[in-house]
Amino acid sequence: MTKEQRLYCILLMSYLRSREKFLLSQYITSADQFFSLTKKDVEACISRKLSTYLSPRELLKTCEFDFSMMERYRVQCIPYDDDRYPPLLREIYDPPVLLLCRGNVNGLLDYVSIVGTRHASKEGLDAASNFAESAVEDGFGVVSGLAKGIDAAAHRGALESKGVTVAVLGCGVDVVYPKNNKQLFQNIIEHAGGVVSEYPLGTPPLKFHFPERNRIVSGMSKITVLVEAPKQSGAMITARLALEQGRDVLVHRAGVDSEGIQILVDQGAQVVNSMREVYEKHG
């Protein structure tokens, strides 16, 4: 059993929280130790009682089919201690124990995260695309969530400048969501970018997955830029997570009239128009 397979079994422990999966992955040092785990061992590691439990060998049986599907879809397993794993993501409180990736994630590249509303204005879409282009031209990769609106515009802007962009999903990497971004999904994979997820193959886009994936979007980057955002939105959740992770949160000038952006400005977030302005403000 390879390290990637062992970690994938940990990933399949749906009754564990993301932080608990990470703690367990640090506790286990070999396949033999993993296979000898008992419910009591896991409970001692995560400091709580479990109402359900599958043994490691039972988990391995459930994911044998998944391993063949990974080969079919050319899915890479990127463990926490792999050189390809985004280094800044390792620093957050609850990093994914394993990233599943189609395409490539350049662990040596600096990234900027660009997020915003699904219901963007034409000005907002252009701003997201142009900011992504400016980031690529200055040597950055672009991270977003593949949602329609600002996310998709940021991905497209990076691709149009022949740069690297990474889409973080709230579902399995064999699931395209939203479906109307299927071509964008393929373009990212085919043009030096990556589509990544912490969820097993076949996982549907459940509502609670998106706040969880947002910590990865912000965690991959030193800087998160919001372009148009309602007060109650996934983009505002990403902004909060970025601040909790000790990262910079900036807002785009094109979105200053949206309610969420106004809140961030009132809290001291700096307004920028391009990556060049970020350099000028942050050095």
Angle at 92 between CA 230 and CA 145, to 5 degrees: 40
Dist CA 135 CA 158 (whole Å):
8
Residues 24 and 128 in one domain: no
For 270, left (φ over 0), alpha (ψ -120 to 50), or beta? beta
Dist CA 152 CA 132 (whole Å):
11
E strand or H helix at 115: strand 111-116
At which of 22, 48, 73 does a domain end?
Answer: 73
Classify residue 230: in a domain, yes or no. Answer: yes
Residues 197 and 267 in one domain: yes
Classify residue 216: in a domain, yes or no. Answer: yes
Classify residue 139: in a domain, yes or no. Answer: yes
pTM of the model: 0.95
Residues 44 and 146 in one domain: no
Count Cβ neighbours within 10 Å for each residue of 79-108 and write b for 16 or more, e otherwise: bbeeebbbebbeebebbbbbbbbbbbbebe
Residues 245 and 125 in one domain: yes
pLDDT confidence of 254, banded at 50, 70, 90?
very high
Q: In sequence order, which residues have a C-beta less than 8 Å from that of residue 190 and are 6 or more positions away?
A: 103
Classify residue 143: in a domain, yes or no. Answer: yes
At which of 73, 98, 119 does a domain end?
Answer: 73
At which of 26, 45, 73 does a domain end?
Answer: 73
User: Of 192 and 260, which is predicted with more confidence?
Assistant: 260
Residues 174 and 223 in one domain: yes
Q: For position 106, what pLDDT does the model report? A: 84
pLDDT for 100-130, tens place per residue? 999 999 887 899 999 999 999 999 999 999 9
Dist CA 46 CA 69 (whole Å):
30
For the domain that residue 264 is a member of, what is the CATH number?
3.40.50.450
Classify residue 91: in a domain, yes or no. Answer: no
Residues 135 and 271 in one domain: yes
Q: In sequence order, which residues have a C-beta less than 8 Å from that of residue 230 and are 6 or more positions away?
A: 117, 236, 258, 259, 260
Classify residue 105: in a domain, yes or no. Answer: no
The domain total for the chain is 2
Domain hosting residue 63, numbered range: 3-73
Residues 59 and 192 in one domain: no
User: What is the 8-class DSSP label of residue 16?
Assistant: S
Residues 223 and 121 in one domain: yes
Residues 156 and 251 in one domain: yes
Distances in Å between the alpha carbon of 39 and those of 16, 46, 48, 79, 204?
12, 11, 11, 24, 28
pLDDT for 186-237, tens place per residue? 999 999 899 999 999 999 999 999 999 999 999 999 999 999 999 999 999 9
Mean pLDDT (the chain, rounded) = 94
Residues 39 and 176 in one domain: no
Residues 56 and 135 in one domain: no
Residues 47 and 165 in one domain: no
Classify residue 40: in a domain, yes or no. Answer: yes
Classify residue 104: in a domain, yes or no. Answer: no
Burial class of residue 122 (count of CB atoms within 10 Å of its CB; 0-12, 13-18, 19+): exposed
Q: For position 281, what pLDDT does the model report? A: 67
